[in-house]
Amino acid sequence: MSKTCLNPEHSELGKKSTYEFHYNPDRLLPITRVQNRLALGINTLPLPFYGFDRWNHYEVSWLNEKGKPIIAVAEIIYGCESENIIESKSMKLYFNSFNNSKFKDATQVENIIKQDLETRIGNSMVTVKITAASDFNSENILPKLEGFQLDELDVDCSVYSNDPHFLSTETEVVTETLYSDLLKSNCLVTSQPDWCSVQITYKGKKINRAGLLRYIVSFRNDNEFHEQCIEKIFMHVMQKCQPEKLTVYGRSTRRGGIDINSIRSTEPVNQESVANIRLIRQ
């Protein structure tokens, strides 16, 4: 049975936090997906999309059995069908509790994180991969996402509260990939800025590009979770443009050593087939 916090105000966001000196899984705060999905008209199962959320945490450390610090990066993936998400600051506080705790090896740490998260998110398996500092490489760092860059369009923008009315289609039927680095929203509680690059791949009537860019920009002053932004884009594009196929993929910049990257699609998504690339801003 998962543990759920229905209200993000119950979290430590925007508040002075105490830091644990020893491992404490109770620092993890689950928040239900239901409320945000109901606002999008998602009130029945199955979900209208497939996908998953991938977290990268770049500030992972613990002590080996001799007390020597180990540093690493953690990759965490769980499906969009999970009952809950994990509030991001609580994830950081949870990982901080490993800093002065001793563990046998990375495999033990992976198994502990997997168990702790699965207990709290509900209804989804969790994949955890720990990469040691000695195995770091830059092979997957890319300057930009694939596709046509909407940001080069010379358009006037004046609406900074999310407005799906900008979305429209033309008569031509196409299969194409578009992307923008201009998606910005604010933390749901603290209003700190969250930045994201978003890629939209679809088949159907051609989406008006200027309107799509204005729509993406219109998130600018909204308070949303990362995952909610991607689901909102998916739902609005489906409702307003009615493509045959649609995939929306967002890669956020990191805050507190963590970036959250979500994908939602009309087609089943294999976690292994979506490379964990890293953009320059990440």
pLDDT of residue 11: 53
Q: Is the backbone peptide bond immediately before 46 cis, with ω within 30 degrees of 0?
A: yes
Q: Do residues 149 and 270 both lie within one domain? A: yes
In b/e form, how buried is each residue of 78-87, taking b as 16+ CB within 10 angstroms? bbbbbbbbbb
Name the domain count of the chain: 2
pLDDT of residue 12: 55
pLDDT of residue 133: 82
pLDDT of residue 10: 54
Q: Say which of 194, 229, 241, 259 is annotated catalytic.
A: 194
What CATH number does the domain containing 149 carry?
A: 3.30.1130.10
The residue type at 274: V
Distances (CA, A) of 242 to 116, 167, 216: 39, 11, 17
Residue 100 lies in a domain: yes
Residue 2 lies in a domain: no
For 50, phi then psi, to 5°, come to: -110, 165
Q: Do residues 14 and 69 both lie within one domain? A: yes
The Cα 184–Cα 182 span in angstroms is 6
For residue 196, indicate whether it is catalytic.
Answer: no
Token pair recorded at residue 225: 């979770």
Query: Residue with structure tokens 């196409």?
Result: 174
**Tens-level pLDDT at each residue, the chain (282 residues):** 455 554 555 555 555 557 678 999 999 999 999 999 999 999 988 999 999 999 999 999 999 999 999 999 999 999 999 999 999 999 999 999 999 999 999 999 999 999 999 999 999 999 999 998 888 776 678 999 999 999 999 999 999 999 999 999 999 999 999 999 999 999 887 788 999 999 999 999 999 999 999 999 999 999 999 999 999 999 999 999 999 999 999 999 999 899 999 999 999 999 999 999 999 999
The residue type at 106: A
pLDDT of residue 1: 47
pLDDT of residue 136: 77
Q: Do residues 44 and 97 both lie within one domain? A: yes
Token pair recorded at residue 228: 């909610």
For residue 187, indicate whether it is catalytic.
Answer: yes
Residue 72 lies in a domain: yes
Residue 14 lies in a domain: yes
Residue 186 lies in a domain: yes
pLDDT of residue 7: 57
Token pair recorded at residue 130: 């720990």
Q: Say which of 53, 80, 116, 187 is annotated catalytic.
A: 187
Parent domain of 212: 141-279
pLDDT of residue 155: 98
